[in-house]
Amino acid sequence: GENVEQHPSTLSVQEGDSAVIKCTYSDSASNYFPWYKQELGKRPQLIIDIRSNVGEKKDQRIAVTLNKTAKHFSLHITETQPEDSAVYFCAASEHGNQFYFGTGTSLTVIP
Amino acid sequence: DTEVTQTPKHLVMGMTNKKSLKCEQHMGHRAMYWYKQKAKKPPELMFVYSYEKLSINESVPSRFSPECPNSSLLNLHLHALQPEDSALYLCASSQVQGANNEQFFGPGTRLTVL
């Protein structure tokens, strides 16, 4: 089955700085890569996703890049704000059948 | 309505109890999922229902029994649980299984087994 690794496990940045979280996957058949944000005690919420026919996708301060050859994808958050503090999970899926989650990154934005 | 709801929010049960978790969505989604999430860990897939039929069972112990009575409802029946089953149980739904659609998560039921 698919194996998704995520780094770093914790990340602290100053408000206004950028944050980068990286994931690698093992199954070359995976073609859908969502990112979820989970605040303490709340549900995971999709913040951005990318499909394998696209190399980069951006939504305001959030961007995701995908390198299919190297089997890795990254989440970039620019101009971080305290409300960005949360746990972020990457995931990989083959045609949306099953979602394999990374181990999570706890992001803290220091005001 | 673009929300997945779950009841109860919290549940405390003994190892001999029988209880049920409920999940509901009115988005017309035909795929529904149960996940288990331990603290500071990612969600772990338990079951997937596609068009009200069990599609995936991730080798979950039989003390967890899922049920999909109709396209809007998903239940998880619990019996003879162990303390290590204490976790956040998340329900999710998507338009269909197998089409790279966004999964919408419910708020979860925090289960404590004494």
Is the C-alpha dihedral spanning A19, B105, B9, B64 positive or negative? negative
With a cut of 80, say whether residue B99 has pLDDT above it.
Answer: no
Q: Which residues of B touch A97 (CB under 8 A)?
A: 48, 56, 97-98
Joined together, the tokens standing for residue B24 give 């509901």
Please, which residues have CB within 8 angstroms of residue A41's CB and are 6 or more apart in sequence?
A: none
- Amino acid B58: pLDDT: 87
Please, which residues have CB within 8 angstroms of residue A85's CB and are 6 or more apart in sequence?
A: A39, A107, A108, A109
Please, which residues have CB within 8 angstroms of residue B62's CB and are 6 or more apart in sequence?
A: none
Q: Do A102 and B42 touch (CB under 8 A)?
A: yes
Residue A10 to residues A6, A43, A87: CA-CA distances in angstroms?
10, 19, 9
Phi-psi map region of A27: left, alpha, beta (phi>0 left; psi -120 to 50 alpha)? beta
Q: Which residues of B touch A42 (CB under 8 A)?
A: 107
* Closest residue, chain B, to A99 (C-alpha): B45
A87 and chain B in contact, CB less than 8 A: yes
Chain B stretch 2-61, residues whose beta carbon is closer than 8 A to a beta carbon of chain A: 40-45, 48, 56
**DSSP one-letter code for A61:** T
Mutation target among B47, B89, B100 for the A interface, most CBs of A within 10 A: B100
pLDDT digits (tens, 9 = 90+) for B12-67: 999 999 999 999 999 999 999 999 999 989 999 999 999 999 998 889 999 999 99
Q: Which residues of A touch B100 (CB under 8 A)?
A: 31-32, 51, 93, 95-96
pLDDT digits (tens, 9 = 90+) for A11-69: 999 999 999 999 999 999 999 999 999 999 899 999 999 998 889 999 999 999 999 99
Name the 3-class secondary structure at A32.
strand
pLDDT digits (tens, 9 = 90+) for A27-39: 999 999 999 999 9
- Phi first, then psi, for residue B100 (nearest 5°) are 55, 40
